[in-house]
Structures are given as C-alpha cells and as structure tokens.
Structure 1
C-alpha cells in the first residue's frame, strides 16, 4: 500500500523530559513530565500532543462525513481528553474521551455523524480495540 503522507519526528534528551522535533521543523519543542505526575510541567507532554492530534483528526473526519452526507456542521468542534492509567501489569495505558459539539443540530443526528466519523478517523482506527475511546455529543 502506498502511503498518502508520512510524518517523521525524533525524540532526544530523555523521552518525557527531552525534546521532540519533526523532520520538517514545523514542530520543535521541549517536552516535560506534567506537574500532576511529579514533573516540572511547563511544556507539552506526549498525552497533550496525542489529545491535540486526535481532536484535529476526528474533527476532520466529522467534516468529511458531513460533506459526504451533504450536511452542514458550521461552528462544530471536537474536544479531546487523554488519560494515562495504570494497566494493572506494571505498565500504563491510555483512555480517550471525545466531545463533539455541532450547534443547532439535534443530538441524535450529531451522534450519528460522530459515530460515522469514528469509523473513518485514522486515530480511531489505530486505537480501536487497543484503548477505551468514549465519544459524547454535547450541546455546549
């Protein structure tokens, strides 16, 4: 299968307390363990980067599904929260909550669009069966 796009990044200097840079230089930042986990905070961490990427990717999938169904979703948004959890075997796992907001759309129709977006979103497809992903439609 031919890749449509490939992103490349390099982590250096200590993993969660280090530096990440993409090959194209667009993302070039320090990363830090968050204060909530005993770190210094003050910089992005892997969960923040994942949450931002998943929210943007899912919103794009939502817009694509809406266009295919000839449905307007002006002013829509997707919020993402990524939780780091112990996995009970000495390691860690992630859980994701996505909140979809489509103003002036009945919640049941918005949920149908969100469910359809979950089937096409690359992040959703990558995580399916691996981590818990909860998708909620909200009206705020």
Structure 2
C-alpha cells in the first residue's frame, strides 16, 4: 500500500447508543456537517451554497454504523455487556503520497470499564466480520485502537 505523506482533509464520526450496538438502526440519520480547513474559509465556503457532507464523512459514517453493529454482535457472542457509554469513532483521511491520492483510516472503539484484553478481542472480532472492514483490508492503511479508560 502507498503511504499518505500529506493529509488534505479528514472525515470524522462518532457512533453511540445502546440501540446501535444491539443492531437497531431504526429512525432517522442525523449528520452534523463541518467544513475542513481554515475557520475563516469555512464561513465563506458555506455562505453561498448549502452545506453537504464530504465523501470522507459519508464513508466514515457508513463504516461506523456497520462496525458498531459488529461490535454488538461480537460482544453478545462473548457474553460481554457493553457499557452505555460505548462509542465508535472513525476518522477517514484523504491525502497525497507524491502526486497520487489515497485514503487511510483510524477506528477507535471506546468501551470504558471493560478489561483491555476483552475489549481488544471485541474490536478485532468486529473488524473481522464488518463488511466495510473486509472491503478496506489490504487496500488502505487502517489503525484499530481500543480505549478502556
């Protein structure tokens, strides 16, 4: 895989809620939009046009929803009760390596109070069954982090 040497923009998401980790995605999609870059430029960028999500935000959001469900499935298989404060944060960078463009990602599973070894097993188990994780494996650089504190 080629490496990003300059990050141009990052799409970030945070998925929370016990229903999500139980695989219940009923209801509406709520996306909060921000523009990347300089705050002064952001104001001008959204002045004349309607705000819209970036491809990186959309990809991170879809991956986050899928990965969160996978976390719930793996935790249930392991008989582990996830805390109400469980969250998945995904960041997808668009960047350049030389003259080529690439994406890379960071997946952060936040499970306060769970034993770190158990949390790591859940994170890797979810990564193994999540279709988005499977699709990116070997195609982009992905870092999987677990936060238990």
Query: TM-score with structure 2 length normalisation?
Result: 0.65
What's the offset of the Cα at 1:74?
A: 2.7
Residue 82 of structure 2 is aligned to residue 82 of structure 1:
no
Matches within 5 A, 1:1-140: 34-36=35-37, 40=45, 42-75=51-84, 76-88=86-98, 90-139=99-148
Please state whether the residue corresponding to 2:94 is helix, strand or coil. Answer: strand
Shift of 1:68: 1.3
Aligned alpha-carbon RMSD (Å)? 2.6
- Measured in 2, the distance between the counterparts of 1:136 and 1:65 equals 16
Q: Runs (4+) of structure 1 moved beyond 3 Å?
A: none
Structure 1: 5+ residue runs without aligned partners? 1-25
CA distance in structure 2 between the partners assigned to 1:133 and 1:35 by the alignment? 21
> Following TM superposition, by how much is the alpha carbon of 1:126 offset from its aligned partner in structure 2, in angstroms?
0.3
Q: Does the 8 A contact of 2:115 with 2:148 survive in 1?
A: no
TM superposition shift of 1:35: 4.3
Give per-residue Cα distances to partners, 1:83-114, cap 9 Å, x unaligned: 111133x3311110011011210122101110
1:54 Cα deviation (Å)?
Answer: 1.2
> How many residues align structurally?
111
Structure 1 CA distance for aligned equivalents of residues 67 and 59 of structure 2: 12
